[in-house]
Chains A and B, each alone.
Chain A
């Protein structure tokens, strides 16, 4: 029976290994925990319109991650990593509110700063997709409506939506045009102290080094019946940003049904291009309803990043980064040819993960592994024990060796 036992044991060991791997996670990043705290407008003495800064401090064992969600002008999410567990944000409110942005936001001690980056949402494009191609890069300029400049939007007070226990906040804004009379563009930010997964699709996997943004466009009146939207992002980084977005294949679509890809735009140290300092990660899918179902998914695509000569139009980003810092921009276009236009549901949402270090990778869920283990293990065990049982039974029936002739 030895020949049966060996592979069975091997397979079970392998399955056990997979199970342990998936449930506990072997690489240290996923198990890393941080102490997260959130504050609004740190150090601001008297409330002031146009302040709009949420600060998340995520303290690890010997480092700190600062996330800054900024609603002054174009909305932005900044990430600053320091190698000190006591680093702090220092803001010169008077200078900032007077319009002297440069140098008014610092993370001290400045020598502890290892990496910093910012993601800014600068423009919302709308175009009239008469021929249903969903390919704005190849459309004539006349198909485009004037874009919504997000730096001109007025943003709701963060105080009303901030949730200090969940470390989340929602930022909604609109401009004065009739299109936004009943509609708004919103960003929901969440910070995390440990590994987990978003509750609603696309259910991105996060860890202690990441935070999530969900962007949605609710009830905006489109300017044509065939309107589709695209979003312009700009990114500033203290490290070298890749000139392209990596699109990786992902076997596992359990948490984002029918999506087998994950896109990530990473920053690397300029001397070692394979190491990853920070990333923006998303699944190439947007959803057309607030409580998405399978059929509400619509693909999204990204353009290649291009270099921009000046800092993005966001007050706090200009306050932190110096002029001349490398800035890149790309567009995310929602929907593909044949998919319904915006006016069918008047809703569009898209989620991204912003974080430090290598982006989290999906692995098979324990349930999937258990089903496969039981499914493959049971027939093998049956063959093993059934074979042994049958051998014994047969031996009992026909005793071996020569029987006496008489």
Chain B
């Protein structure tokens, strides 16, 4: 989940095969908004692209937004509840390798997008149906199906973006998509509780039925995504016909044998990625009740603060990305971000200070880490291995998320929040150890991970003059 939106950009930006300039002649007679080569038409397309991912981001954190309700209505303990997140991650341990392949070779981008959007919708409906029927195992199945679609849909979304915007406003488009994703998560966190309460008033009591209806309403966002996928498919085909352009490709080439050539630095980056994100997403999954129990927040306040990481990430990501791009020194930025997150978790664990401080700090450092960490992969592996490297990174990240989600649930059940926070601190400490090692390994091997932007530009220039 974590990497969604942040990493895929790099793959597609790096080695997409697609995205020819589409300046060729079209039917000039049509109005600008219908003309695929005109910017106003691309804005229409962009809005559909943004809504394509909205549903899956909205529904991913449905359990977190309704934590108390899910636990009470389905009579779960916290470990059971966290299974909902684990089941989302399991399919993606494998699918991170397969998603690009399926889009490029099997379905094509248009059909593939529709299929994945359908998986997301069907998964959410099964999830909600499980709640309606009062069957928790069915809800787990729903999350599994949802997971199959969710992550791959993000790949498809980025491929569309490259196809339509490469060489124009691509970074802005990625930024917008990411902000839209965070918006989806935020809206979900803050609205689902209210939806549930309204339905509770209508139905007359809380219970699986109420939960099921609330989740069904959540599924309408997935329907919106599927509609967007259909419209996008139509518009893309129409553009292909008018402009004679190719269907988009992710360009991902996964070769598992590349793994043996991965340098030590890349493995350290993987460790940072896993250890860092497992202390963010499972924490958010369990956050709402934590803020209620420890800090005496009202449920609405707790949902608001639990979405702060996403809210901050939306505007901060582009700004921080710009700063990291300009300054370089990625390893130091990563280490700094990890230390900041560690401080935030320690505040939550060992103080009663208002959690707004800690959560804002976490939101800022989380965005910083995303901006500094994911691009580093492209510095340590050759371009043709990028797809494999990113696929592998996401795969073990999902493996980590699935395992830690389950561990976090049972730690909370048996030893409480302090111990859970200490556990998250320990994970972050491991990420910090890996970052420090990365710094030294890079220093000793004379790598360029921690170069300043200016030095990196000089290096690039000398390489290109050498090759001339």
Decide yes or no: A257 and B350 within 8 Å by CB, A295-B71, A295-B77, A378-B433 being known contacts. no
Does A372 sit within 8 A of B, measured CB to CB?
yes
Does B414 sit within 8 A of A, measured CB to CB?
yes
Q: Do B412 and A294 touch (CB < 8 A)? A: yes
Chain A nearest Cβ from B21, distance in angstroms: 48
Q: Do A368 and B419 touch (CB < 8 A)? A: yes
B293, B425, B440: the one contacting A260 at CB < 8 Å is: B293
Contacts of A382 in B (CB 8 A): 433, 436-437, 440
Q: Do A390 and B443 touch (CB < 8 A)? A: yes
Decide yes or no: A253 and B422 within 8 Å by CB, A390-B440, A390-B444 being known contacts. no
Contacts of B444 in A (CB 8 A): 390, 393
Does B384 sit within 8 A of A, measured CB to CB?
no
Q: How far apart are the CA atoms of A386 and B428 in the complex, in Å?
A: 20
Chain A nearest Cβ from B361, distance in angstroms: 17
Does B138 sit within 8 A of A, measured CB to CB?
no
Decide yes or no: A386 and B429 within 8 Å by CB, A252-B418, A372-B422 being known contacts. no
B294, B414, B422: the one contacting A294 at CB < 8 Å is: B414
Contacts of B351 in A (CB 8 A): 251
Contacts of B423 in A (CB 8 A): 371
Does B426 sit within 8 A of A, measured CB to CB?
yes
Chain A nearest Cβ from B347, distance in angstroms: 11
Does A256 sit within 8 A of B, measured CB to CB?
yes
* Size category, B interface: 35 or more
Closest to A252 in B: B418
Mask, A339-353, CB within 8 Å of B = 1, is: 000000000000000
Contacts of B425 in A (CB 8 A): 371-372, 375
Contacts of B440 in A (CB 8 A): 382, 386, 389-390
Does B413 sit within 8 A of A, measured CB to CB?
yes
Q: How far apart are the CA atoms of A390 and B436 in the complex, in Å?
A: 12
Interface secondary structure of B, over-half rule: helix
Chain A nearest Cβ from B293, distance in angstroms: 5
Decide yes or no: A254 and B419 within 8 Å by CB, A293-B413, A375-B426 being known contacts. yes
Contacts of B443 in A (CB 8 A): 390
Contacts of B429 in A (CB 8 A): 374-376, 378-379
Contacts of A393 in B (CB 8 A): 444
Q: Which of B417-460 contact A (CB under 8 A)?
A: 417-419, 422-423, 425-426, 428-430, 432-433, 436-437, 439-440, 443-444
Q: Do B432 and A256 touch (CB < 8 A)? A: no
Contacts of A260 in B (CB 8 A): 293-294, 417
Q: Which of A244-294 contact B (CB under 8 A)?
A: 249, 251-260, 293-294
Q: How far apart are the CA atoms of A260 and B291 in the complex, in Å?
A: 11
Q: Do A258 and B417 touch (CB < 8 A)? A: yes
Q: Do A294 and B78 touch (CB < 8 A)? A: yes
Q: Do A258 and B293 touch (CB < 8 A)? A: yes
Closest to A375 in B: B429
Contacts of A294 in B (CB 8 A): 77-78, 412-414
Mask, B191-212, CB within 8 Å of A = 1, is: 0000000000000001000000
Mask, A229-254, CB within 8 Å of B = 1, is: 00000000000000000000101111
Q: How far apart are the CA atoms of A258 and B419 in the complex, in Å?
A: 10
Does A383 sit within 8 A of B, measured CB to CB?
yes
Q: How far apart are the CA atoms of A124 and B75 in the complex, in Å?
A: 28
Q: Which of A10-27 contact B (CB under 8 A)?
A: none
Contacts of B78 in A (CB 8 A): 294-295
Q: Do A254 and B418 touch (CB < 8 A)? A: yes
Closest to B290 in A: A258
Q: How far apart are the CA atoms of A264 and B364 in the complex, in Å?
A: 40
Contacts of A256 in B (CB 8 A): 416
Contacts of B352 in A (CB 8 A): 249, 251
Closest to A378 in B: B433
Task: Identify which of B349, B418, B440 gathers the most chain A CB atoms within 10 Å of its CB.
Answer: B418
Does B415 sit within 8 A of A, measured CB to CB?
yes
Task: Identify which of B416, B432, B439 gathers the most chain A CB atoms within 10 Å of its CB.
Answer: B416
Closest to B351 in A: A251
Does B76 sit within 8 A of A, measured CB to CB?
yes
Contacts of B419 in A (CB 8 A): 254, 368
Q: Do A371 and B426 touch (CB < 8 A)? A: yes
Contacts of B294 in A (CB 8 A): 253, 260
Q: How far apart are the CA atoms of A338 and B443 in the complex, in Å?
A: 58
Further contacts, 20 of them, CB under 8 A, given A294-B77, A338-B206, A374-B429: A249-B352, A251-B349, A251-B350, A251-B352, A251-B418, A252-B418, A254-B416, A254-B418, A257-B417, A293-B413, A295-B75, A295-B76, A338-B72, A368-B419, A376-B429, A378-B429, A379-B433, A382-B436, A386-B436, A386-B437
A-B contact pairs, 17 of them (CB 8 A): A253-B417, A254-B419, A255-B416, A256-B416, A257-B417, A258-B293, A259-B416, A293-B413, A294-B414, A295-B71, A295-B78, A295-B413, A368-B419, A371-B422, A375-B428, A376-B429, A386-B436
Task: List A residues at the B interface (Cβ < 8 Å).
Answer: 249, 251-260, 293-295, 338, 364, 368, 371-372, 374-376, 378-379, 382-383, 386, 389-390, 393
